[in-house]
Amino acid sequence: MEKQPQAFWLCALICINLSSLLHLVEAQDDQKGFISLDCGLSPTDLPYNDPSTGLTYSTDDGLVQSGKTGKIQKEFEAIFSKPSLKLRYFPDGVRNCYSVNVTESTNYLIKAVFVYGNYDGLANDPSFDLYIGPNLWSTVDMHGRTNGTIEEIIHRTISKSLQVCLVKTGTSNPFINTLELRPLQNNTYNTQSGSLKYFFRYYFSTSDRTIRYPNDIHDRKWYPFFDSKEWTEVTTDLNVNASNSYKPPQIVMASASTPISTFWPWNFTWTLPSSTTQFYVYLHFAEIQTLKSLDTREFKTPKSTLPPLINALELFTVIDFPQLETNQDDVVAIKGIQNTYGLTRITWNGDPCVPKQFMWDGLNCNSLDISTPPIITSLNLSSSQLTGIIAPGINDLIHLQELDLSNNNLTGGVPEFLAGMKSLLVINLSGNNLNGTVPQAILQKKGLKLNLEGNSDLICPDGLCVNKTGNGGSKKTNIVVPAVASVAFLVVLGSALAFFLVYKKKKTSNIEGPSSYTQASDDRTTRSSEPAIVTKNKRFTYSEVLTMTNNFERVLGKGGFGMVYHGTVNGTEQVAVKMLSHSSSQGYKEFKAEVELLLRVHHKNLVSLVGYCDEGENLALIYEYMANGDLREHMSGKRGGSILNWETRLKIVVESAQGLEYLHNGCKPPMVHRDVKTTNILLNEHFQAKLADFGLSRSFPIEGETHVSTVVAGTPGYLDPEYYRTNWLNEKSDVYSFGIVLLEIITNQPVINQSREKPHIAEWVGLMLTKGDIKNIMDPNLYGDYDSGSVWRAVELAMSCLNPSSARRPTMSQVVIEINECLAYENSRGGTSHNMNSQSSIEVSMNFDIGTTPGPR
């Protein structure tokens, strides 16, 4: 009787583990826990079995609030299986999300299938983003994907609901054909951090058959691969004991490859998108040859008489999801309120608070730090045609500070639970049809601003509010309880402002905007008193702005100035159009300063101005398009790519420093930027860095004077303490801010983090340096892949830039020289990332030889 072949797996590159051989367990071939959605199936259609796999697909009705159904054109139908013939597309809104019930803390294999099939008759391959919850999963680009594409990830759920979102990024509509979730055993495919994004899955055979369910009980898709020049195929007709926890299919494990020669190594090579890409490799082995008595096959000892053998290989790249989902209690509460009032707003799907650009209309959210889930602090449903009573579910928003339900058709009484909401400071219930007696507990609540105007049937207890008698003797009640500022709240707010402004002794009445602040003493000159912009060159009309942005169709981002939109000039040149918001903390003065600066300065490391619009109330700045966003996004991993390696970070800060050095020394008169920070360092398609946002820039004297007196402006955390203390501005204020940027690229830590022993990054790094170990402060995402001498020089440079005395800080010219020295140190070392930036590809080889052991990467 022949011995049954035994299978085992090996996880390599970040960890190396060898599973024990397990007893044969009969595979379960049911679909327990499977979710298979045909995203174009009508709600009236019954579930069906896909003829090619036997998988049961059902409609997506009820799992997504929006979208329209379509069908690929007949000429493509023969290529695809039944579930891919229909689709759901999303012409309305920017973000549309599926919400699927799942088992909490479970590994799921998630697959989304996209087959365009010219369903809309436009023959225009769509491109859009795919998110899991608030985090970018992938960009789906259908260009050249005639046979469709599949996005696959292994992801551990953190709650009982999983959201998969499609986000419109251009003019084309997102779409999806099928969405599939398969639960896996939790002791498989585990990572140190992040989720596993599918890269490839091969079994080594000369077959042309693709394997999936029912052969694979987890519905993994295995593709055949074989190098006929280097390998020999080995097969067996016996059943392979593949009963380890990964459960590879029998048909996959029944074939394998070995080197042609007994004494040759087994080699396999693949190319990764970046030298800093983290990846996991899962190797599946089974001895499927009948060995002779003296035959030995071992990878770790030189006594092997047979060459290496391997059956299958899976590779995944690691994708980190840094953005936490909104506090789950708040999510349940706000969705309950949504159901109570039957709200169908297009933005009210997906995560309520994050990402910020997709926050639900009418909400404001807050997060104490990056390790804390965002919470809902404000709910505004004014003029939303609400009917019925005030929803009891509002009481479950325990962090709520402001509630506005004004100008609706609400009836019933004012609920007493509002008085028990400890965080609630503002309640606006005016303009409704509320009745009954206002609870005394609400009227007596300290620190509460309450507006009940326009509810004629409300009765207020004597002495606690103002009663007015209307015409005809009918009694009407207008109740406005004046705001009583909470002493504790003001103390906390004052302390926070004092911390942000570095020197706590100086009292100030600064007003903080979304991305910068300016002292109240900086009287903003009214638009009418501002002189017109000197030049008319590059000036666009508002109608031209509407045309270039296609009526502001695609949002790129939002800042203190206003919304930023994607556009094209002359139908070819991509641009970023920044529209001045009427509620912006910045005004015409900053707009005019930025236009006039950028019209006269030109440098390869400064974002260039394509043009501007100055037409009535419509103000716009039109920049060159920077395809890769800002440095902060890439440092945090929010753009979904790999974390920037050390060499790339140095190149980016060198280029940023060159732009700043030009402002200081190449401009006449010289300029001070005043708002240097990682979000103002933008990256083009080649990852070239350019400094942006010059609305706060100011000229400084050059003829014997050392500074200019000006009101303080900048961003909390980056602000030069000497400049703040004295109001004396010079170019060394930019040097201080640049020192903070250097610390950010070294540590990948937030500038302000209240959970640290020292909240400000400069103080924290100073504390860590006293321990003498660079690893205490270096970004752990780099896994030690850097020259320590280069890092030490960068740290020393950053700390010199942060000297309390501006006279002792280096100039930007000296900074450029020093960073280039750091870069030279890094380039001079050996290592995998030598001369590799974050966008370069890297070729990786796996080698199994007699007497060698594969090591982790």
CA 754 to chain centroid:
22
SS3 167: strand
Query: In whole angstroms, how far apart are CA 743 and each of 135, 719, 757, 798?
Result: 25, 14, 17, 6
- The token pair at 301 is 């000892």
- The token pair at 91 is 């012409």
Q: What are the beta bridge partners of residue 848?
A: 266
Please check whether residue 623 is in contact with residue 559, taking contact to mean a CB–CB distance below 8 angstroms.
no
SS3 87: strand
Concatenating the DSSP letter of every residue in 39-63 gives TT--TTSPPEE-TTT--EEEE-BTT
Helix H or strand E segment including 337? helix 328-341
d(CA 81, CA 367): 45
578 is in an annotated binding site: yes
Q: What are the beta bridge partners of residue 681?
A: 691
Q: What are the beta bridge partners of residue 403?
A: 379, 427
Residue whose token pair is 């090579």: 269
Half-sphere exposure for 523 (CA within 13 Å, toward CB)? 4
CB-neighbour burial class of residue 517 (10 A; exposed 0-12, middle 13-18, buried 19+): buried
Residues whose CB falls within 8 Å of the CB of residue 40, separated by 6 or more in sequence, listed in order: 69, 70, 71, 85, 86, 87, 88, 177
Helix H or strand E segment including 732? helix 732-747
Active site includes 675? yes
Please check whether residue 775 is in contact with residue 784, taking contact to mean a CB–CB distance below 8 angstroms.
yes
Concatenating the DSSP letter of every residue in 254-275 gives TEEEEESSTTSPEEEEEEES-T
Helix H or strand E segment including 682? strand 681-683
d(CA 629, CA 634): 8
d(CA 204, CA 261): 17
d(CA 629, CA 633): 7
CA 798 to chain centroid:
28
Residues whose CB falls within 8 Å of the CB of residue 657, separated by 6 or more in sequence, listed in order: 738, 812, 815, 816, 819
d(CA 836, CA 847): 23
Concatenating the DSSP letter of every residue in 766-803 gives HHHHTTT-GGGTS-GGGTT-S-HHHHHHHHHHHHHHT-
Nearest to 6 by CA among 197, 343, 240: 240
- The token pair at 57 is 């697909």
Q: E-strand spans in 4-106?
A: 7-12, 17-18, 35-38, 48-49, 56-59, 68-71, 86-89, 95-101
Please check whether residue 409 is in contact with residue 387, taking contact to mean a CB–CB distance below 8 angstroms.
yes
Catalytic hit among 38, 675, 787, 849: 675
Q: In what order do the strands lie in the sheet with 127-132?
A: 95-101, 161-168, 127-132, 135-141
Binding residues for ATP: 578
Binding residues: 578
